[in-house]
Copies of this chain bind each other. A is one copy, B any other.
């Protein structure tokens, strides 16, 4: 998906640029997301972070993910009714979502074009456009 090697030092810089005080826990959580470049649920982040090094509480994981969201360091992907996925890729893109396997794959936004969207009423601003292509492993 992405093979950039994120050192923790590099992530400290990224956090600072996003106006986030780089604490131990925040660095570990960022590392979990960015070193893999995968879509992870809060649950998965918690498990990964507590596998190595320091213990991090559930509350901190949720607080931190929401902080990262607010600071636009990561995005949230809402495809599964039961949990949110967090996406370290903030380049505009969309998703394939395999309903059977839960697999979530990026689609570069540059590749696709959406035309004919209705005009927005006055005072309403677009925040973002999400395209989700729900797929399944053939058969039925």
Contacts and interface: CB of A to CB of B under 8 A. Distances in A.
Interface residues of A, number: 35
> Copy number in this complex?
2
A99 interface: yes
A126 B134 CA distance: 6
Interface string A113-140: 1111110100111111111111111100
B116 A115 contact: no
B133 A117 contact: yes
A15 interface: no
A114 B112 contact: yes
Contact of A126 (B111, B124, B125, B135): B135
Contact of A116 (B78, B112, B134): B112
Nearest to A127: B134
Given A84-B81, A132-B132, A133-B129, A138 B117 contact: no
